């Protein structure tokens, strides 16, 4: 099962050219399921996730931001919304949205989206999220990952496949919020719930930055390069289903001269069939 997470940089920059580049990357990856953040939708019914799903032959689910106004002011267009989305090879049989807690000074409508995916063998509890980006807001992100962990716990049951949580966490791997969410380097946010950082299965020395100064859109912010986008997976189910078999970056260079986003994507391949004798 190929899983991708990607922040698509909303309607910033040369978004029409970037839209085609995003499609090109995803088409080459041939993912089974994708968690997307900063997805745009317009008041007249256009939705980037719907368009991508149609081009790729995938199902889709959409979680609009409940408070897009701060984003809209940045581009001067109140007719464009923002949210998270899931693209899936398999039908989406259920979905739910969790607005993430944040104080007024950084509140801009961040959320988590849950989608239950009906494979022929079992359901996959899949999540994608986008946490607060303010550099100083680690404490806010800790509140958000506690809420996210409870959201995962609420929706993960009834299937042998472990939960898969994707997204732009805007946090470094050794931060309090990532350690708290994972629950295996410190006490978990939900007692007994562990979610592994899939990148720990990466090849040693593999390029890891998803916010990379090599990308001109990211470099413009003058901050250091960092790995801030994640695929988290619960411990494997019976027979090893959900085990991370490999992980890497994608979308980390220009496509016909256009960088698709200010973030690189993360791609993980998960075992989705029982091992023989398992």
pLDDT tens for the chain, 278 residues: list them.
999 999 999 999 999 999 999 999 999 999 999 999 999 999 999 999 999 999 999 999 999 999 999 999 999 999 999 999 999 999 999 999 999 999 999 999 999 999 999 999 999 999 999 999 999 999 999 999 999 999 999 999 999 999 999 999 999 999 999 999 999 999 999 999 999 999 999 999 999 999 999 999 999 999 999 999 999 999 999 999 999 999 999 999 999 999 999 999 999 999 987 543 33
- Residue 45 in domain: yes
d(CA 220, CA 212): 10
- Residue 29 in domain: yes
- Residue 277 in domain: no
Torsion of CA 122, 52, 261, 210, to 10 degrees: 10
Contacts of 76 (CB under 8 A, 6+ apart): none
d(CA 264, CA 199): 14
Provide the β-strand partners of residue 238. none
Rg (the chain; Cα; Å): 17
- Residue 86 in domain: yes
- Residue 276 in domain: no
- Residue 76 in domain: yes
What pLDDT shows up at residue 273?
Answer: 74
3-class DSSP state for residue 94?
strand
What sign has the CA pseudo-torsion 181, 182, 185, 188? positive
What pLDDT shows up at residue 147?
Answer: 98
**pTM score, whole prediction:** 0.97
What pLDDT shows up at residue 277?
Answer: 37
- Residue 278 in domain: no
For residue 122, give its domain range: 2-270
The CATH number assigned to the domain holding 211 equals 3.60.10.10
What pLDDT shows up at residue 278?
Answer: 33
Residue matched to tokens 């994708």: 34
Whether 138 contacts 177, CB under 8 Å: yes
Whether 123 contacts 93, CB under 8 Å: yes
Give, in order, the Cα–Cα distances in Å from 122 to each of 87, 152, 260, 266, 272: 18, 17, 33, 24, 10
What pLDDT shows up at residue 274?
Answer: 53
What pLDDT shows up at residue 199?
Answer: 98
- Residue 41 in domain: yes
Whether 82 contacts 39, CB under 8 Å: yes
Q: What is the pLDDT of residues 44-56, one digit of tens each?
A: 999 999 999 999 9
Residue matched to tokens 């790729």: 56
Nearest to 249 by CA among 212, 209, 205, 203: 209
Contacts of 147 (CB under 8 A, 6+ apart): 98, 100, 101, 112
- Per the structure, how many domains does the chain have? 1
What pLDDT shows up at residue 218?
Answer: 97
Nearest to 260 by CA among 54, 21, 93, 92: 21
């Amino acid at each position: 099962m190929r899983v991708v997470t990607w922040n698509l940089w909303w309607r910033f920059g040369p978004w029409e050219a970037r839209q085609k580049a995003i499609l090109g990357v995803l088409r080459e990856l041939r993912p089974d399921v994708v968690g997307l953040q900063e997805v745009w939708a317009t008041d007249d019914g256009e939705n980037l996730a719907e368009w991508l799903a149609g081009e790729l032959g995938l199902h889709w689910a959409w979680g609009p931001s409940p408070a897009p106004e701060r984003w809209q002011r940045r581009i001067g267009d109140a007719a464009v919304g923002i949210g998270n989305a899931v693209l899936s090879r398999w039908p989406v049989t259920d979905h739910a949205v969790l607005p993430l807690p944040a104080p007024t000074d950084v509140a801009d409508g961040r959320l988590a989206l849950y989608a239950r995916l009906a494979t022929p063998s079992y359901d996959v509890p899949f999540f994608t999220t986008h946490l607060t980006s303010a550099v100083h807001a680690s404490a806010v992100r800790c509140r958000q990952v506690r809420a996210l962990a409870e959201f995962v716990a609420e929706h993960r049951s009834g299937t042998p496949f472990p939960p898969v949580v994707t997204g732009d966490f805007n946090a470094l791997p050794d931060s309090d919020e990532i350690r708290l969410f994972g629950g295996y380097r410190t006490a978990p946010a939900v007692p007994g719930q562990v979610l592994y950082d899939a990148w720990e299965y990466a090849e040693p020395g593999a390029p890891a930055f998803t916010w990379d100064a090599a990308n001109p859109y990211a470099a413009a912010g003058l901050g250091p390069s960092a790995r801030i986008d994640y695929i988290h997976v619960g411990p494997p189910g019976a027979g090893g289903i959900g085990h991370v078999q490999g992980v890497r970056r994608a979308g980390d260079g220009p496509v016909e001269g256009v960088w698709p986003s200010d973030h690189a994507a993360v791609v993980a391949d998960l075992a989705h069939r029982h091992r023989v004798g398992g």
